[in-house]
A and B are shown apart, each in its own frame.
Chain A
Amino acid sequence: MTRVVVVPGVLALLPEYAALVDPVADLRAACLAAVARLGADVTVLGDAQGERVAAYLLEATDRSGSAPSFLVVGNGSARRSEKAPGHLDERAHAFDADLRAWLLGDGPLPDAGLGRDLLAAMTGFELMAERVPPGGPVGVDFDDDPFGVQYWVMRWPA
């Protein structure tokens, strides 16, 4: 059975940006636990930065099995608050709600152009829509916007 995991493309996950205190410790733990459930060979769906995040997560996990496996690197808007990297955009929350609904199998993929205006990392989701569209029971391990950026860690099957 095909296995799919979605993680956000957070550069703070990368070892080259490690600090004494991990600002994304909870997110990191959720990502590593989810990615560990993928098979040995994993197809990465994401942009260039997303591929770096994926490479770290795959390197940091022990995986086995021959299940077809996809690691999607994408996240929602980075304009969800005044302190967010892209400052507040009033459209961000509604956009992320639509994106979440799509991930949960309950609606279409929202407009990627709008997503990019809202500093969402959309490439992974666009590729996911083509290759392994969301559907079926999903496990949601992380759904939060700790820095004004919407992150999800999700996995299929649940």
Chain B
Amino acid sequence: MTLRLGRQAFRDDATLMMAIVNRTPDSFYDKGATWVEDKAFDRVAEVVDQGAEIVDIGGIKAAPGAEIDVEEEIRRVASFVGRVRSAHPGLVISVDTWRAEVARAVCREGADVLNDAWGGADPALVDVAAEHGAAVICTHTGGVQVRTRPHRIEYDDVVAAAIADTVAYAERAMAAGVPRESLVIDPAHDFGKNTFHSLEVTRRLGEMVATGWPVLVSLSNKDFVGESLDLPVGERLVGTLAATAVCALAGARIYRVHEVVETRQVVDMVATIAGTRPPARAIRGLA
């Protein structure tokens, strides 16, 4: 099925890089490197040059921290979305927010995708998406509160829970008027999940793909990689790419990443091994 992300449509075998662009002073990986707006703007240009099809702009870090109200979140992201839209008319712009009011503000500025990393915490968000023709990323958080870490959460079957919740969310969005082709599901590694849960959804990602909904994975430098390899933030790229390869082989479509070039190479290599993408150029033994 064609995937429609706002202004852009993609073939059903296309894999897409969603580059993370933080408008925060305190996100875990870049620690505020793009808090200054011009730095964030430069970061967008950089990831576009690197081949990212999507940027995911976020105004609030996922982890607990200082309270950021609606007005401040809008101040951080809305006008920035407009600036990126003007400079990159063909770029798919996603905004990482759970709030319908923020969603409305960024859609007016040209956002294409609402990445609801907190799994439908604000039920009105899907109405905004429908009203503005935006796509929605439907994530699984296991019912945890926004901006909380998991604490002693357990599941009978974490993959079954992720499928049930994300598909239910997608169907709710459809009922609100978001087209099926503009809905994506995301198991949301580390959100409402300990490391064992995140490893299991990675290992069994094919079950999510088998639902027929396009699957996004957000693996980049996360704690499940760090705990698996006992490595701090900043030393998790290789582990991230290994998890990326597993998800790519299972059929994930969108990769939310810090490192665009490396992830694109891994995803393309896996697709080439899987036979869904030809080699770039092949003459060895064929001349």
Contacts and interface: CB of A to CB of B under 8 A. Distances in A.
B29 to A, nearest CB: 32
Contacts of A19: 278-282
B178 to A, nearest CB: 33
B283 interface: yes
A24 B281 CA distance: 10
Interface string A118-158: 00000000000000000000000000001111000000000
Q: Give the size category of B's interface with A.
A: 10 to 19
15 contacts: A10-B286, A10-B287, A11-B285, A12-B282, A12-B287, A18-B278, A19-B278, A19-B279, A20-B281, A23-B282, A23-B283, A85-B287, A146-B287, A147-B283, A147-B287
A148 B287 CA distance: 9
Contacts of B278: 18-20
A10 B282 CA distance: 12
A19 B285 CA distance: 14
A85 B286 CA distance: 9
Contacts of B280: 19-21
Interface of B: 277-283, 285-287
Interface of A: 10-12, 17-21, 23-24, 78, 85, 146-149
B256 to A, nearest CB: 25
Which 9 interchain pairs have the tightest Cβ spacing? A147-B287, A12-B286, A23-B283, A11-B286, A19-B282, A21-B281, A19-B279, A149-B287, A19-B281
A11 B280 CA distance: 16
A148 B278 CA distance: 24
Contacts of A85: 285, 287
B194 to A, nearest CB: 41
A117 B282 CA distance: 25
A10 B286 CA distance: 6
Nearest to A151: B287
A82 B279 CA distance: 25
A120 B281 CA distance: 24
B287 A78 contact: yes
Contacts of B287: 10-12, 78, 85, 146-149
Contacts of B283: 12, 23-24, 147
B285 A20 contact: no
B122 to A, nearest CB: 42
Residue from A18, A23, A146 whose CB has the most chain B CB atoms within 10 Å: A23
Contacts of B281: 19-21, 23
A10 B284 CA distance: 11
A78 B283 CA distance: 13
Residue from B278, B279, B282 whose CB has the most chain A CB atoms within 10 Å: B282
A151 to B, nearest CB: 9
Nearest to A148: B287
Contacts of A147: 283, 287
Contacts of A149: 287
Contacts of A11: 285-287
Contacts of B285: 11, 85
B273 to A, nearest CB: 14
A89 B277 CA distance: 36
Contacts of B282: 12, 17, 19, 23
A12 B287 CA distance: 6
A11 B279 CA distance: 15
A24 B284 CA distance: 12
Contacts of A17: 282, 286
Nearest to B287: A147
Contacts of B279: 19-20
A157 B280 CA distance: 37
Contacts of A78: 287
Contacts of B286: 10-12, 17
B270 to A, nearest CB: 15
Nearest to A10: B287
A18 B279 CA distance: 8
Nearest to B280: A20
A19 B283 CA distance: 9
A22 to B, nearest CB: 8
